[in-house]
Amino acid sequence: MRIDPNSSADLSVQIAQAIKDAIISGDLNVDERLPSEAELSEHFQVSRPTVREALKRLAAQSLIRTQRGATGGAFVKRLSFEDAYAQQITTSTLLLSMNAVSFDTACEARYALERACAPLSAARCSADQLATMRAEIFRQQQPGLTDEAFCASDVAFHRALVDGAGNPVLSYQLAGAVEAMQPLMNMITFSARDRATITALHGRIADAIEAGDGAAAVAGLEDLEGETRKLAADVFAARAARSA
């Protein structure tokens, strides 16, 4: 593991990257204990606070875990897809907000990705995942449900559909699409949408998944995308009219 002391990059960042590279390459294995702070400080020829900052960076990325006691120290952590979901969602949310991604761009990406999952979900969806979709549809039909709760249920429905594909890599990749893009679209369309229409489309998709009909599930998502785009167009037109 090496760093470049002449580089303008922060030393703690370089150390964190060097350790990360060692984990990726297999030079450091899961559950292997890292050298102590003193040993890392001597190895990299930096102060212990600099090493400590590097270890904090790695812990924030769920790449290492710390353990107290005589046999304690910093250990390489087995990163799970579940651990990485939150970071993926946060990153996607920041990218969308900071780069002012258009509604059409987000909508196109989100539905294109989810349509790719639909046939797999129709073939592999578990009883529990289907039950989650049904439970969210029932929840969406309740008259006293707030807009915020309806949006949360909407996200939960689509997350169950994606997870139904039984592919953790797809679930991870789509975590940002469903849990970052979907709320963005909901914020724009919630005031214009008819809940009964959305719920009926969700029912069609769930029926197709239960029947193992991937093509019908894709068709349902295409109709849902069309409804979503229509709602957004209505909202943007109303805003333009008020500004005129």
Nearest to 201 by CA among 109, 92, 114, 89: 114
Distance (Å, rounded) from C-alpha 99 to C-alpha 136?
32
Q: Within this chain, do residues 30 and 55 fall inside the same structural domain, yes or no? A: yes
Residue 126 domain-assigned?
A: yes
Residue 1 domain-assigned?
A: no
Answer for the pair 44, 82: CB distance below 8 angstroms, yes or no: no
Q: Within this chain, do residues 110 and 39 fall inside the same structural domain, yes or no? A: no
Angle, CA 224 vertex, CA 223 and CA 228 arms, to 5°: 120
Q: Within this chain, do residues 116 and 223 fall inside the same structural domain, yes or no? A: yes
DSSP secondary structure letters along 31-63? TPBPPPHHHHHHHHT--HHHHHHHHHHHHHTTS
> Which residues contact residue 45 at a Cβ distance below 8 angstroms, ignoring those fewer than 6 apart?
5
Q: Within this chain, do residues 135 and 217 fall inside the same structural domain, yes or no? A: yes
Tell me which residue has tokens 């710390």.
66
Residue 4 domain-assigned?
A: no
User: Domain boundary at 54, 76, 98, which?
Assistant: 76
Residue 3 domain-assigned?
A: no
Q: Within this chain, do residues 100 and 34 fall inside the same structural domain, yes or no? A: no
130, 132, 136, 137: CA torsion to nearest 10: 20
Q: Within this chain, do residues 224 and 114 fall inside the same structural domain, yes or no? A: yes
DSSP three-state, residue 69:
coil
CATH of the domain at 113: 1.20.120.530
Domain ranges, residue 168: 81-243
pTM: 0.71
Q: Within this chain, do residues 71 and 110 fall inside the same structural domain, yes or no? A: no
Torsion sign across C-alpha atoms 212, 214, 217, 219:
negative
Q: Within this chain, do residues 127 and 219 fall inside the same structural domain, yes or no? A: yes
Angle, CA 54 vertex, CA 52 and CA 56 arms, to 5°: 70
- Tell me what pLDDT residue 158 has: 93
Nearest to 177 by CA among 85, 244, 113: 113
In tens digits, what is the pLDDT along the chain, a chain of 244 residues?
778 777 777 899 999 999 999 988 888 888 899 998 999 999 999 999 999 999 999 988 888 888 887 778 899 988 777 777 777 777 777 777 777 678 888 888 889 989 999 999 999 999 999 999 999 999 999 999 998 899 889 989 999 999 999 998 888 888 777 777 777 777 777 777 889 999 999 999 999 999 999 999 999 999 999 999 998 888 888 888 888 7
Residue 6 domain-assigned?
A: no
Q: Within this chain, do residues 93 and 159 fall inside the same structural domain, yes or no? A: yes
Q: For the chain, what is the largest distance between any 2 Cα atoms, rounded to a whole number of angstroms?
A: 71
Residue 65 domain-assigned?
A: yes
- Tell me what pLDDT residue 124 has: 96
Number of domains in the chain: 2
- Tell me what pLDDT residue 123 has: 97
The burial of 219, by beta-carbon neighbours within 10 Å (0-12 exposed, 13-18 middle, 19 or more buried), is given as: middle
Q: Within this chain, do residues 147 and 165 fall inside the same structural domain, yes or no? A: yes
Q: Within a 10 A sphere around the Cβ of 29, how many other Cβ atoms?
A: 10
